[in-house]
Amino acid sequence: MSPILITFYFLAAITLATAFLTIYSKNPIHSAIYLVLCFFSIAGHYLLFNAQFLAIVHIIVYSGAIMVLFLFTIMLMNLNKENEVHKPRITRLGAIVVFILMSIVLVTIFINSKTIMGEYDTSGEDFQSIKTLGKILLNEYMVPFEFASILLLAAMIGVVLLSKKEKTEKK
Amino acid sequence: MDVTTILLLLLIGSIATFFAGDKLASKVALIFSLGALGLSLYLLNLLNQGANISYIGEWMSSPKVSLAFKADGLSMAMVLLTTALTPLIVFSSFGNSFNNSKNFYALVLFMSFAMVGTFLAVDGLLYYIFWELALIPIYFIALIWGNGDAEDRKKAVVKFFIYTLGGSLFMLIAFAYLYSKAGSFLIGDLYQLELTGTEEFWIFLAFFLAYAIKIPIIPFHTWQAKVYQKAPTVGTMLLSGIMLKMGLYSVIRWQLPIAPSAAKAYMPILIGLSIAGVIYGSIVALRQKDLKKLLAYSSLAHVGLIAAGCYTLTLDGLSGVVSQMIAHGFVIVGLFFAAEVIFRRYETRTIADLGGIRSQTPQFTSMFMILVLASVALPGTFNFVGEFTVLYSLSQVNIWYAVLGGTTIILGAYYMLKMFQNVMLGETNTKVFAEVTTNEAITFVAIIAFLLFFGLYPKPIVDLVTPSLNEILAVINK
Amino acid sequence: METNLALVLLLSPFVGFLFNIFLGSKVSRNVSGAIGTLTVVVSFLLSICFFAQLNQNGKPFEIALFDWIQVSNFKLDFGILLDQLSLLWLLFVTGIGSLIHLYSISYMHDDENMHKFFAYLNLFVFFMITLVIGSNLLVMFIGWEGVGLCSYLLIGFWYKNQPYNDAAKKAFIMNRIGDLGFLIGMFIIAALFSTLNYTEIKIALSAGNADSAMLGLAALCLFIGATGKSAQLPLYTWLPDAMAGPTPVSALIHAATMVTAGIFMVTRMNFLFDLTPDIQHIIAIVGAATALVAASIGLLQNDIKKVLAYSTVSQLGLMFLALGLGAYTVAVFHVITHAFFKACLFLGSGSVIHGLHGEQDMRKMGGLRKAMPITFWTMMISTLAIAGIFPFAGFWSKDEILMVAFEHNKVLWVVASIASIMTAFYMFRLMYLTFFKEFRGTEEQKHHLHESPSLITIPLVILAILAVIGGAINLPGSMWLNHFLEPILAAKHEAHHLGTQEFMLMGIALVGAIVGIIWANAKYIKGGFVPKEDADISGFNKTVYNKYYVDEFYTFLIVKPINSLSNFFRTTLEPALGKVVFSFGTLANGIGTQGKKLHNGNIGLYLFVFVLGICAIITYLFIAQ
Amino acid sequence: MNNILNQIGIENYIFLSVLLFCIGVFGVLYRRNAIIVFMSIEIMLNAVNLLFVAFSTYHQDAEGQVFVFFSMAVAAAEVAVGLAILVSVFRNLGSIDIDNLKNLKG
């Protein structure tokens, strides 16, 4: 067992556990906190791959921006009570069955597809440093990159419109 | 100069009519439809001189669809039928006033445009588009300007629309399949396809559903009578005079040559069904209470005979079919117009409420009488030429077909004369029946003159269509 | 030149028709009548010219005017053929036609639609000429249908009366049943020989390699056509009803000309019928049966025109009997003599009806001899002729038929003889009831009794003269008609040499006719018997009086079922078919209604289905690989 | 530079991603709270992103990472809009229980 493998198992365990707890916690606040942990562990995986740029972006976007949004929303709705009514038993049972089914299907498929994969090779080239990625993003993916900004702008405007209190109803 | 000019003229006419405003609409429509008639006569002349008036252009590359309009004798005969009837129909409606007449006449011209397109297109998908396009204007014409209770009318018209559309979908499927085999929608490529027996059967069946509903062949006729009754007379004329000929034309142009061995194999069933339509339509017509419905069923009977002629797969059958299509187109338009003339004066189409008109209006009586006689195929009218040739071709296949199909001359005389007696004869009606106006008389005279002239000298029409029918028969018998 | 003359001959009545239909209402009645008559006279004169020419050189005149209908294996032209047969027919059609036109000027003088009457009459003559002079079957068919149309128009001439219209419609439809037979016959012939031209068919037939079964079928179909037009069993019922038309129409169309079209056609196609002996038997039997049935109905009719109508049917039956026995000339001979005396009888009855202002019931006539002497005498002559009294025209022609029948088949001879005796009886019954004894009508009618004007009586006199001397054209000695028609009818029947047997047969026929007359005399003159009111007739007499209920039988067997079938189709089958179509719509609707329940808005459920769907798709894709 | 996968193996990442994804699915199906459902969706998204990065390393190619970058951008937008919708739903219904959102009923 190399240290890297141990790190992987450790991170994987955290990822799965926190993900599961996110879903399982009754208190939305707890869920959110577990989710943050989950995201951090995923960022760890990225670091393990030496994908520094993504790791940092991930932390900024998910753990930073998105989680803050979640938390704000939860606070805004005052949902920190454990008052959620559970779904009917049959639905929960169904959910578990579907979960297992999905896992089996996907795992079986990946196991069976393994033969197609080749050896792990090392090109030796630098393909994922921030510098390289930056070049790729602003050359080949220039247009999609700009579109992404437009998308974000549109989302922003949409959100403002959506969350504005409707005055027409009162009139 | 090629055939697309007719299409363009009609389309422009339709738009121009729409923008002409309600007051001028009918006149603009008449001018444009007359123009189309003149143009098609000119093109016919060119065709007879041997000029190439077909047009083939690119449209879509994938799927490969081209703007292919081919004019041979058969197509030109049908185009002439359309362009000759359109001005007549437009002119016949001068005595009526319609709300929003600009829309109305624009739709009439648009329908004419679509029908001419159907007769000319030789690319499967293009043909299909025109075929369906023709349905849209008649839907609105019948729905908006029809008569009778609005709910009833809506029911009948929507049923008609969905029924015919549903039938045509099978045709689309057939075309899609044929395209997958041939890689092209062009009729020439489709003719050359070598299909297996099963394939031919299914393709034939798909075409048959589309055409049997449109023609209509029993038992697919249930939409017909109600729509004819509810539609405004102009709509009824368009439907019975031209639109149902689209089905018959398509049988000759598309169904038979593409799936000839199926047509040969199922000939007895097809002819039997068509002739059953003749007898059934005649018998149902006997006891109809509504004038337009009676004419609708008479149309069913006549068209049954025409369809039977199509499926004989002989030159006589097909040329008789073309003659009979043209003759029937004119005579049924005339008869519906007579019903309209009566309606304008008496506000009713119920046969029991009529009678005793003859003594008040000798001119109208004579013209109506001639139309009735033409419809029962009296020798000397064009209908006789058609019916004789069709019955002859049936007798060549099997003499009993001719005997059974020939009952139309007995039953047809029975219901038409009964109708005429109840509508026109008898003690003078208490209500005043004004003599026909000049406009009305012109319409009648034009129709009658046409029927009598070609009844005595049908050669031009037969000569026009024979070469193209021979080509089609060559494909069928290859 | 000849072509032009032939065209004038054909089109002259048509011009009269056009004139009367378009301008008739604008000119005076007499002008309209005169033009109508004149155009027919022109045709008559031209027929005489052609006849004289043909008599001289013996060459028939044939010309094809223009192509008409073209089918794959042959072409049909609009052809004219003027040979012995057609000219013979032309002569009496246009001749009697002219007389009847002349008669109509006076007879129809008070009718508001007189110009229309002449228009239709002219049109009829036009179509009749077309029928006769066509050089192929299809041109004959134009005329054939055309005269049917004119018959329809003229029977229903008084269109305000719906029963008259019914009669007209009935005539047209009955004729059309026959026409279908004619059409089918033509189709078979066309299929066999690829032509409809008489001469070409004849040539093709003489080659003699045609399928005899098909030939028989063709002959039978043509004969069915003839039964429709010539009012034979089983299609005769329209003719008595056709008496609803004005009397000149009955005389022209339903006695002298149109109804003989069937005989013309069979004679025309004699070469075909000669090859099909089975069909000839059928024709003979049908003819004899018709003669007997119609004569027996005629015995008890009270309407003066109905009696004449049944007499016409009966006489036509005799002609068909002759045709069936292959004696075409004899049939033609009887057609001509019959045309003379029957036209005269009808016109005479018209004169009587005219005199009585529309009364047609013989029970309300009587004693008219003194008031209408010319009418009486002309009708008397014709009655003697039709009864077969020596030496009037009818004697010769009817006697020939009986002789031919005697030679071939004794049973047919007996039937025909009985029919002749009946004829003599009912014709004299008609005469006695109408002209003898006292007048039985109202006082007012009696007051107005008068002889008809000269325009009516002149044709009567001419026709009566012809009825006397008409037999001369084929007297047993000279046999002019036989010789004249020889080019057309290969003379199978050699002229009878007048032996003992022939004289004996003539004697028997004469005695039979006299027996009939004496019987009538005994009953109506000596016994003073007047037929009972309708309600009082009973027993077998009632059956006969009601024409054996044939009309009722047809109504019950054909018209009623078709009408109830129509009702059934209209009220039951049509909606049922409609429902079947609608059921597709109902089905789609039902699927929609059920499917709507799945869309209950529960997002959880949607997600479940969604995920399961993904699983299924992935699995499928994986397995498919 | 050594390929990290030589030591861990791509299978491990695949299983990790699959499990993570399935947990996300489970969450979506299991919970009624719309926010938690939303979080589950984020988990699923991350599982996929993780796989992208793993394969990017496997192929020694940056394309996968670029794609992840874009998907993050989209996710950010989506979360913002989604949460805004939730807020407005909450404002109107006073609850974000997805079983209450039944207006889609046909």
Q: Residues B206-226: what's their mean pLDDT?
A: 88
Nearest Cβ partner for D43 among A22, A151, A152: A22
User: pLDDT digit string (tens) for C451-476?
Assistant: 778 888 888 888 888 888 887 787 77
Predicted complex: ipTM over 0.90: no
User: pLDDT digit string (tens) for B421-434?
Assistant: 888 888 887 888 88
Query: Tell me, what's the pLDDT at B446?
Result: 92
Using CA atoms, how far apart are residues C412 and C403, in angstroms rounded to an integer?
11
C62 touches chain B (CB under 8 A): no
Query: Tell me, what's the pLDDT at D3?
Result: 67
Give the number of other CB atoms < 10 A from CB of residue C510: 16
Element (H, E) at C82: strand C74-82
Q: Answer yes or no: do B316 and C569 touch at CB < 8 A.
A: no
Query: Same domain, yes or no, for C488 and C568?
Result: no
CB-based touch B/D (3+ pairs, under 8 A):
no
Q: How far is D68 from chain C (nearest CA, A)?
A: 23
Reference A165, options D92, B367, C74; nearest CA is: D92
Give C50 or C368, the one with higher predicted confidence.
C50
| Binding partners of D (≥3 Cβ pairs within 8 A) | A, C
Query: Same domain, yes or no, for C525 and C560?
Result: no
Task: Give me the residue spans of the domains in chain B.
Answer: 266-478
Q: Residues B417-424: what's their mean pLDDT?
A: 89
Architecture of domain D7-98: Orthogonal Bundle (1.10)
Query: Same domain, yes or no, for C505 and C566?
Result: no
**Residue recorded with tokens 């073209």:** C70
Q: How far is A106 from chain C (nearest CA, A)?
A: 8
Reference C408, options C418, C400, C397, C398; nearest CA is: C400
The band of C497, judged by pLDDT with boundaries at 50, 70 and 90, is low
Range C439-467 burial, b when 16+ CB lie within 10 A, else e: bbbeeebeeebebbeeebbebbebbbebb
Residue C614 lies in a domain: yes
C442 touches chain B (CB under 8 A): no
Query: Tell me, what's the pLDDT at B308?
Result: 92
Name the A residues in 70-89 with CB < 8 Å from any C CB: 87
Residue C469 lies in a domain: yes
Dihedral angle of Cα D71, D73, D74, D76, to the nearest 10 degrees? 120
DSSP 8-state symbol, B69: E
D22 touches chain C (CB under 8 A): no
Give the number of other CB atoms < 10 A from CB of residue C591: 10
Beta strand pairing call for B55-60 and B65-69: antiparallel
- As averages over each run of 10 residues, the pLDDT of chain A (171 residues) reads 86 92 87 91 90 89 88 79 67 85 85 69 75 88 91 91 68 41
User: pLDDT digit string (tens) for C9-23?
Assistant: 888 889 989 888 888
Residue of B nearest to C570 (CA): B284
Q: Which of B363, B388, B465 to mutate to test the interface with C (most CBs of C within 10 A)?
A: B388
Using CA atoms, how far apart are residues C490 and C511, in angstroms rounded to an integer?
34
Q: Answer yes or no: do C615 and A102 touch at CB < 8 A.
A: yes
Residue of A nearest to C604 (CA): A91
Long-range contacts of C576-585 (CB under 8 A, 24+ apart): C577/B219, C577/B221, C577/B222, C578/B222, C580/B219, C580/B222, C581/B159, C581/B163, C581/B222, C581/B223, C582/B159, C584/B166, C585/B159, C585/B162
Spatial contact of A42 and A58, defined as CB atoms under 8 Å apart: yes
Query: Tell me, what's the pLDDT at D1?
Result: 45
pLDDT at D47 over 90: yes
Spatial contact of C136 and C79, defined as CB atoms under 8 Å apart: yes
Q: Answer yes or no: do A91 and C612 touch at CB < 8 A.
A: no
Using CA atoms, how far apart are residues C352 and C361, in angstroms rounded to an integer?
11
Residues of the domain holding C354: 324-529
Spatial contact of B323 and B386, defined as CB atoms under 8 Å apart: yes
Query: Tell me, what's the pLDDT at A171?
Result: 41
pLDDT at B249 over 60: yes
Using CA atoms, how far apart are residues B359 and B401, in angstroms rounded to an integer?
41
Q: State how many domains chain C has.
A: 2
Q: Answer yes or no: do D65 and A31 touch at CB < 8 A.
A: no
Spatial contact of C164 and C172, defined as CB atoms under 8 Å apart: no
Q: How far is D21 from chain A (nearest CA, A)?
A: 9
Q: Answer yes or no: do A16 and D23 touch at CB < 8 A.
A: yes
Q: Residues C410-423: what's their mean pLDDT?
A: 87
Task: Return the axis-axis angle of helices B267-286 and B382-397, rounded to nearest 10°.
Answer: 140
Q: Answer yes or no: do C71 and B316 touch at CB < 8 A.
A: yes
Nearest Cβ partner for A8 among D8, D20, D27: D8
- The rounded percent of chain B whose pLDDT value lies above 70 is 100
Query: Tell me, what's the pLDDT at D106?
Result: 53
Reference B226, options B285, B134, B321, B292; nearest CA is: B292
Q: Answer yes or no: do C615 and A101 touch at CB < 8 A.
A: yes
pLDDT at C68 over 50: yes
The band of C490, judged by pLDDT with boundaries at 50, 70 and 90, is low
CA–centroid distance for C403 within its chain:
26
Using CA atoms, how far apart are residues C100 and C95, in angstroms rounded to an integer?
9
Strand partners, B305: none
List chain C residues with CB under 8 Å of B453: none
Task: Give me the residue spans of the domains in chain D.
Answer: 7-98
C154 touches chain B (CB under 8 A): no
Q: Answer yes or no: do A132 and D35 touch at CB < 8 A.
A: no
Using CA atoms, how far apart are residues C248 and C103, in angstroms rounded to an integer?
7
Using CA atoms, how far apart are residues C355 and A119, in angstroms rounded to an integer?
127
Spatial contact of C390 and C510, defined as CB atoms under 8 Å apart: yes
Query: Same domain, yes or no, for C496 and C574?
Result: no
Using CA atoms, how far apart are residues B15 and B19, in angstroms rounded to an integer?
6
pLDDT at B99 over 50: yes
Q: Answer yes or no: do D29 and C611 touch at CB < 8 A.
A: yes
Q: Which of D53, D58, D59, D86 to mutate to test the interface with A (most CBs of A within 10 A)?
A: D53
Q: How far is C615 from chain A (nearest CA, A)?
A: 6
SS3 content of chain D, % helix, strand, coil (to 5): 80, 0, 20
Query: Tell me, what's the pLDDT at D105?
Result: 61
pLDDT at C501 over 80: no
Q: What is A1-84's CATH number, 3.40.50.720, 1.10.10.10, 1.20.120.1200, 1.20.140.10?
A: 1.20.120.1200
Q: Answer yes or no: do C72 and B283 touch at CB < 8 A.
A: no
User: pLDDT digit string (tens) for A115-157?
Assistant: 666 677 777 777 778 888 888 888 989 999 999 999 999 999 9
Q: How many CB pairs under 8 A join B and C?
A: 136
List chain B residues with CB under 8 Å of C581: 159, 163, 222-223
Residue of A nearest to C625 (CA): A113
A112 touches chain C (CB under 8 A): yes
C66 touches chain B (CB under 8 A): yes
pLDDT at C441 over 50: yes
Spatial contact of C340 and C393, defined as CB atoms under 8 Å apart: yes
Query: Tell me, what's the pLDDT at D43?
Result: 93
User: pLDDT digit string (tens) for C243-300?
Assistant: 888 888 888 888 888 888 889 998 888 888 888 888 888 999 999 999 888 888 888 8
Least confident residue range of B88-102, C179-193, C202-216, C375-389: C202-216
C600 touches chain D (CB under 8 A): yes
Reference B77, options B264, B263, B324, B269; nearest CA is: B324
The band of B35, judged by pLDDT with boundaries at 50, 70 and 90, is very high
Nearest Cβ partner for A162 among D24, D75, D88: D88
List chain A residues with CB under 8 Å of C625: none
Residue of C nearest to A104 (CA): C615
Q: How many CB pairs under 8 A join C and D?
A: 31
The band of D2, judged by pLDDT with boundaries at 50, 70 and 90, is low
Residue of C nearest to A103 (CA): C615
Task: Give me the residue spans of the domains in chain A.
Answer: 1-84
